[in-house]
Amino acid sequence: MLDSSPNESELLTTTLELLLEDFQYWFFRAQTLLESERITLLSPEEQNNLLARVNKSQQEVITAQILFKATDQKAGIDTAILVLWHKLVDECWQVSMRWQSHKANKT
């Protein structure tokens, strides 16, 4: 009987590819919120800073995706960078949840 489960390399490749797509999705959502609404829970400077960090990270993810594809999925990403992106996504989630709650309480 043949083992049909993916090997470690295939699993890592698939996971990384999906993770990069997730980061793109969440950074796009955060960018849309930060560009379309004035989040009064943040100062204008804080909102602009968060948007700038989202835009920068979004470009980094795009670059990582391009390199990943260009190297036939042989390029990796430093886990420290993944952690930074994850923390930024978490920060954006927190802002979004607080903002949605704030708006709901005002109506």
- Position 17 in a domain: no
- Position 10 in a domain: no
- Position 13 in a domain: no
- Position 37 in a domain: yes
The pTM (predicted TM-score) of the whole model is 0.87
Distance CA 20, CA 89 (A): 12
Residues of the chain with pLDDT under 50: 1
- Position 3 in a domain: no
Domain total in the chain:
1
- Position 11 in a domain: no
Q: What is the pLDDT of residue 5?
A: 67
Q: What is the pLDDT of residue 3?
A: 57
- Position 29 in a domain: yes
Q: 28-48 pLDDT, tens per residue?
A: 999 999 999 999 999 999 999
Per-position DSSP letters for 32-87, written without gaps between them: HHHHHS--TTS-HHHHHHHHHHHHHHHHHHHHHHHHHHHTTT-----HHHHHHHHH
Q: What is the pLDDT of residue 10?
A: 77
Q: What is the pLDDT of residue 4?
A: 63
- Position 6 in a domain: no
Q: Which domain holds residue 74?
A: 23-106
Distance CA 12, CA 18 (A): 10
